[in-house]
Structure 1
């Protein structure tokens, strides 16, 4: 098999994996939403169809750089992803997860703020905010250019920050689950966490929903650190009947 064909197949395979992961996770939480709050998505069928369409296009865009990097890692040892747990101190396993999440959160915060400037918002980010209200299907509902800004982060980090393949899987899982749950229209975490000390620093649906309501605040992805440092933290909102 030629190198170019192998890279193409890897990119296509990774795009399919990202798409199926999106359908499985978003579909699971959408089902949970319908069981928990049956009328929450009533009348949003056309919106949800658009969200799924944009999200599957984003999945293809996310899969291309990931597939290329995955091929390079498997064939030539590109990246600093390692499989031997003993290659680094054991404490680096959780530390690397936090390092990746914080780096991703930093990139997301600043690019997200940029995309809320009128010119960039109209050109790209308006696609995401067309979901009113967002649903569990909206997590990857992006304009292709916005999807591209998100698709490059993790593939770039694996060349810079060493991470065990299992820890990388944890990062991708957190990224997917938080992306979906922050948009699904209700809070799945207990009130004690959301309104407690930990909730002052972590982003959940209650925090991100306020961003979709007010636009000019709460730009973070995982943590409230940058929002607090930069004075853009708008606090948390509430959902009818949540936190039961």
Structure 2
């Protein structure tokens, strides 16, 4: 009977994480979709069928994200597998913001190169075409992935917490940034002020104006949070002209 305990606990953790990811998606994408309806009434008119598909693919992705997250969460609680810590004094205080930046930079690098790979013709047809079926993308499209693509994204944070120390609060900040930027970059309009988007800082940050260009032209603007990989590799083609007058 004792051998049945851990597998059951892992299953429960995976199911709980799947539910959390799914509910987080519905709540946050729903919030930004509601904001869109208030700020830009009619912006998603005629896209109801597309949105239903986005929600369906996203909820499937929630399970793919939730399973490895649940396994790692169980390993952290039961066996201390991860480098997550709860005492802020375990590492120097400067590591709190530095760890957030490290996670974002590492996640961004993984995303850039896997995203470029997803645009290889054969891989695109098999997997990434699901995401690009959102034309134009909406607030519901942030997790609208084929299972293959979802898997490439689902392994990042679980792998990082096994390798790179991070305070549980800092990890929460990373997950919040990941969620908010994933959604706002797909809303189909720019919520950040032009003074930021067109500033020197904006040249290095990805917002909807930059990512919309990717959905228009496909073979450019591959980054997630930052534009340095696009700049270094010559794949940055600037901001969407459709947003220039907004």
Q: Same fold (TM over 0.5)?
A: yes
Moved over 4 A (4+): none
Aligned CA distance change for structure 1 residues 241 and 25 (closer, same or farther; 3 Å): farther
What is aligned with 1:229?
A: 232
Report the alpha carbon displacement of residue 241 of structure 1 after superposing the two structures with TM: 6.2
Is it true that 1:18 corresponds to 2:40 in the alignment? no
Cα distance in 2 for residues equivalent to 1:221 and 1:88:
28
1:125 to 103, 106, 128: 128
What is aligned with 2:199?
A: 196
Tell me the matched-pair count: 242
Cα distance in 1 for residues equivalent to 2:189 and 2:94:
34
User: When the two structures are superposed, what TM-score results if normalisation uses the length of structure 1?
Assistant: 0.98
Is it true that 1:154 corresponds to 2:160 in the alignment? no
What is aligned with 1:78?
A: 81
Cα distance in 2 for residues equivalent to 1:233 and 1:159:
32
User: When the two structures are superposed, what TM-score results if normalisation uses the length of structure 2?
Assistant: 0.97
User: What do the CA deviations read for 1:90-132 (whole angstroms, capped 9, x no partner)?
Assistant: 0000000000000000000000000101000001000000000
What is aligned with 2:63?
A: 60
Is it true that 1:109 corresponds to 2:121 in the alignment? no
What is aligned with 1:212?
A: 215
Cα distance in 1 for residues equivalent to 2:29 and 2:219:
26
Report the alpha carbon displacement of residue 39 of structure 1 after superposing the two structures with TM: 1.3
Aligned CA distance change for structure 1 residues 240 and 49 (closer, same or farther; 3 Å): farther
What is aligned with 2:175?
A: 172
| Structure 2 unmatched runs, 5+ | none
User: What do the CA deviations read for 1:25-47 (whole angstroms, capped 9, x no partner)?
Assistant: 10000000011111110000000
Report the alpha carbon displacement of residue 240 of structure 1 after superposing the two structures with TM: 7.3
User: What do the CA deviations read for 1:53-76 (whole angstroms, capped 9, x no partner)?
Assistant: 000000110000000000000011
Cα distance in 1 for residues equivalent to 2:56 and 2:154:
17
